[in-house]
């Protein structure tokens, strides 16, 4: 919806909508420099503002939605948290959380304007005052290449100049957005890449495309490289978990974070590689 349409929908003035955007009190996005308001998120936001003594008693869906992370996927299985995993990306996870269709959402969305991770995206989508953002891990992102790096690629520019077949992640993923930023900083664009058909929906999908020679390289996390070659490019990819304040104290979330303090979990992170767990569990943002 446009500003005029959302104002009509909420039966208020456009000026009020602009004020709410300035205060980040309503879900919105900017596309081609214009303010837009996704109807599904506005409806979910409006429902979240409803005062009801029974609201806190409603059961939450036992679902994790959002970005794919190998260590988190493993922890969700072995922690006995009881959360089902809905495949998606960072943007989808926030949308599902805002719509009440998930208990937990994982994301790593970098905002080049504020030079921060995730907080701006959460403020744009989860505008009510009942959500928190908790840090999971910092990860190393870079180029996944064939074993031994046979083309000796050391940068995105090398991938372009060598004409390497490049596999992409899905458009709404934090990794794909980070690739856009890294290309821009290198004076390149997506049009410069020799992109192969198909989309890697997870980091494992990306690794498989390279292992099966469907692509020469792709942009992903070190933890997914396995026996492949890996060229580090970004050391501080920040992966966080968003949830309601109420959900944070629910058994599934508490089991997950309790398991993340175990020696077994730390050992798995070391085996995968590319993880910095020093701030795991820190509250990054409290709405």
Of 126, 56, 132, the C-alpha closest to 97 is: 126
> Helices 251-259 and 70-78 sit at what angle, rounded to 10 degrees?
110
Report the range of poorest mean pLDDT among 29-43, 56-70, 77-91, 100-114: 29-43
> Is 188 in contact with 182 (CB distance < 8 Å)?
no
Q: Say if residue 254's pLDDT is above 80.
A: yes
- Say if pTM beats, i.e. exceeds, 0.85: no
- Mean residue pLDDT of the chain comes to 91
Q: Provide the token pair at 151.
A: 């083309």
Task: Give the three-class secondary structure for 286.
Answer: strand
> Is 2 in contact with 36 (CB distance < 8 Å)?
yes
Q: What is the pLDDT of residues 179-234, one digit of tens each?
A: 999 999 999 999 999 999 999 999 999 999 999 999 999 999 999 999 999 999 99
> Is 64 in contact with 102 (CB distance < 8 Å)?
yes
> Is 105 in contact with 65 (CB distance < 8 Å)?
yes
């Amino acid at each position: 919806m446009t500003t005029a349409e959302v104002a009509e929908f909420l039966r208020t003035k456009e000026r009020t909508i602009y004020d709410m955007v300035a205060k980040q009190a309503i879900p919105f996005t900017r596309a081609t420099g214009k303010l837009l308001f996704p109807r599904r998120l506005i409806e979910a936001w409006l429902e979240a503002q409803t005062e009801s003594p029974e609201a806190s008693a409603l059961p939450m869906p036992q679902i994790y939605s959002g970005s794919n992370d190998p260590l988190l996927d493993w922890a969700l299985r072995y922690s006995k948290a009881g959360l089902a995993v809905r495949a998606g990306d960072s943007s989808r996870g926030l949308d599902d959380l805002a719509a009440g269709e998930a208990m937990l959402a994982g994301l790593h969305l970098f905002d080049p304007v504020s030079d921060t991770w995730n907080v701006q995206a959460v403020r744009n989508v989860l505008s009510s005052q009942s959500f928190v953002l908790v840090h999971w891990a910092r990860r190393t992102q870079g180029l996944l290449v064939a074993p031994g790096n046979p083309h000796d690629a050391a940068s995105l520019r090398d991938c372009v100049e060598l004409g390497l077949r490049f596999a992409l992640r899905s458009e709404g993923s934090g990794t794909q957005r980070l690739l856009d930023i890294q290309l821009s900083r290198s004076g390149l664009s997506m049009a410069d890449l020799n992109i192969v058909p198909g989309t890697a929906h997870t980091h494992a999908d990306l690794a498989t495309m390279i292992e099966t020679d469907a692509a020469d390289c792709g942009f992903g996390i070190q933890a997914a490289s396995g026996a492949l070659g890996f060229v580090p490019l970004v050391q501080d990819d920040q992966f966080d978990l968003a949830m309601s304040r109420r959900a944070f104290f629910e058994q599934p979330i508490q089991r997950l974070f309790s398991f993340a303090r175990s020696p077994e979990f730390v050992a798995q992170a070391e085996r995968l590689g590319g993880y910095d767990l020093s701030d795991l569990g820190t509250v990054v943002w409290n709405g």
